[in-house]
Every structure is written in structure tokens, then in C-alpha cells.
């Protein structure tokens, strides 16, 4: 999964402000997908917001990755800009919705959603710990010798 802010399949509104807040301009937006290929179907003229010299157009990514948008003033040139959008499989809203759904599960639904879980017994945990660390018959001298033989790894600072 990409570590993006924008979610795959959800429209992204791109805004542009013309040089000197110029009104009545033709501003075009070129959309390049995650493979840096022009998406002609989503490219085109941006609409001016009233007579503000600010323009907008939306595009909807259909894959995760870095999408690049290039905007240019085709009326009289100048003011080319570019912006990239990191697109991921989830955005903050979808993660929040998933957490809220988990919080709203009733106790009866938890077993259904998560299935059954058999916790290990104390005897099973004790046997597992013994297999990892060995018997408790080491002397203090043996433990001290084992600690002395531990060296630090190489590191980069």
C-alpha cells in the first residue's frame, strides 16, 4: 500500500490560481497516472470559480501511486504549475470509518467477526517458556560468563 493522503477511486479536486489572478483564461490540466502516462480522459480545461482568477477540475485516480497534475495557461502562456498526489488504498476517512465500525460491534458480534480463539493454558505457556530459555539450573557464574560473551553489533550513526 502506498503511504498517501488521497484514496484510490475517490475524486480529487485540483485548484489553480492564475498569474495576477487573471480572469477569463483557458487553463488546461494534464493528468498523469501512477505510471506517468497521460490520462487524456481526465485531462482538459479547468472551470473558473466565478470571476476570481481561480480555476478547478476534478480527477479520479484508478490506481495507487504518485499521480502528477500539470496545469498551464493556454490563453497567453505563463504560470505553468505541477503538483503530485500520493494515492493509497485507504485515506484517513476510510480508516476512521473502519475503526468506528469496530467500536460499534456488540459483544455478540465480536465472536462472529473474529471467530473463536482458544487461549493457551498456563501449563502450555510454562512449557513454551522453558523451551525458549532452558532449565533454571544455571549458576550465577554461568550467567555472568554468558553475559560477558555478548558483544554489541556494528552500528551506523
| Domain range annotation of the chain | 6-90, 94-134
| Radius of gyration in angstroms for the set of CA atoms belonging to the chain, rounded to a whole number | 29
Q: What is the pLDDT of residue 66?
A: 95
What is the topology classification, in CATH, of domain 6-90? Answer: Immunoglobulin-like (2.60.40)
Local confidence band at 2 (pLDDT 50, 70, 90 cut-offs) = very low
**Whole-angstrom Cα distance, residue 84 to residue 5?**
11
Q: What is the pLDDT of residues 73-129, one digit of tens each?
A: 999 988 899 999 999 988 777 777 777 777 777 666 766 666 666 677 777 777 766
Amino acid at each position: 500500500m502506498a503511504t498517501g493522503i488521497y484514496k484510490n477511486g475517490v475524486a480529487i479536486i485540483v485548484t489553480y490560481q492564475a498569474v495576477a489572478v487573471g480572469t477569463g483564461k483557458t487553463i488546461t490540466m494534464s493528468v498523469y497516472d501512477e505510471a506517468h502516462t497521460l490520462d487524456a480522459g481526465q485531462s482538459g480545461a479547468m472551470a473558473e470559480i466565478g470571476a476570481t482568477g481561480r480555476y478547478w477540475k476534478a480527477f479520479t485516480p484508478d490506481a495507487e501511486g504518485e499521480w502528477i497534475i500539470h496545469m498551464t495557461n493556454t490563453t497567453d502562456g505563463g504560470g505553468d504549475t505541477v503538483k503530485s498526489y500520493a494515492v493509497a488504498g485507504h485515506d484517513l476517512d476510510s480508516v476512521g470509518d473502519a475503526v468506528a465500525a469496530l467500536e460499534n460491534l456488540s459483544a455478540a458480534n465480536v465472536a462472529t467477526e473474529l471467530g473463536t480463539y482458544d487461549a493457551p493454558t498456563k501449563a502450555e505457556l510454562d512449557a513454551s517458556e522453558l523451551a525458549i530459555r532452558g532449565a533454571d539450573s544455571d549458576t550465577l557464574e554461568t550467567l555472568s560468563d554468558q553475559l560477558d560473551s555478548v558483544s554489541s553489533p556494528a552500528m551506523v550513526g
